Homo-oligomer: A and B are copies of this chain.
Amino acid sequence: MPCRVVQAIAAPVVLRQRRARLREAALTEIRSIARRLLVKEGSAAVTINAVAREMGVSGPALYRYYSSQRELIDALTSDFFRELIAAMRAAADHPAADTPGRRLLAISRALRSWANSHPAEFAWLFASRVPTSRIAQCSPDENNSGRAFCQVFLDQVVEIWETQRFPLPSLEDMDPSLAVQLHAYSEKIDGLLPPEAAYIFLTCWTRLYGLLCMEVLNQISFAYSDLEPVYEECLQELCRLLDIPYEPPRQAVDLAAE
């Protein structure tokens, strides 16, 4: 009899969770298949129908999980962003990254490393930004993902700034419009960096990310076959800007161990 009561109370909860669990599993399986299709056959192969076929289920069934292809694509995009951010955070949390400067280098290398080991996914992140239609241009969600993504980098620059400072350019020498924008951005990040330091941060980010953009979009392949040393030169330059010591990357063996 007590057993019966337990069932009557507990079973519904368990079963409700079971449904939720199954649903969750289906959602992740869909994304996982979509990702496999992207990697194996390119972004054009990521279609609702192809995923359904691969799942052994018929087309419209997927609409129970993602109500449109756009939604699936956005979910995939945000997966990749999360994974990339996690990889960068993991690099920063590595015990060998015991100073803000080392963390910054580790994060930067983790960024490129993820980009190179997941070229399809990284290119996908760009494709999500390039406006395919006028309306979907400024989706606020993607903008947030993008900011969260560069936030990891920003955090380290803030810490470097707070603990050690670095040389600043003078706002007076700049174009007034640039100064205004830097003030606005400094406010946007809650004054964590003064406008001049924000400029240095943005310069660093732009250099690094711009280089990566060109690499992943095949815009520089006519000159460089391997961008790793170029990237390292860029990191040296960043270290000069941020007044932190440059340290060459650890051996691949060490990196694999983490």
> Which residues from chain A sit less than 8 Å from chain B, CB to CB?
40-45, 120, 123, 126-127, 129-138, 143, 146-147, 150, 174-175, 177-178, 181, 184-185, 188, 198, 202, 206-207, 209-211, 213-214, 216-226, 228-230, 232-233
* Nearest CB of chain B from residue A255's CB, rounded to whole Å: 17
Identical copies of this chain, number: 2
With A213-B213, A220-B206, A228-B177 known as contacts, the answer to whether A131 contacts B42 (CB < 8 A) is: yes
Q: Is chain A's interface secondary structure helix, strand, loop, or mixed overall?
A: helix
| A123: B residues at CB distance < 8 A | 130-131
Question: For the complex, what is the distance from the CA of A134 to the CA of B41, rounded to whole Å?
Answer: 6
Q: Which residue of B is nearest A181, CB measured? A: B224
Most buried by B among A40, A134, A147: A134
Q: Which 9 A-B pairs have the closest CB atoms?
A: A210-B210, A42-B133, A175-B229, A178-B229, A213-B213, A185-B223, A44-B132, A129-B217, A147-B222
- A202–B223 contact, CB under 8 A? yes
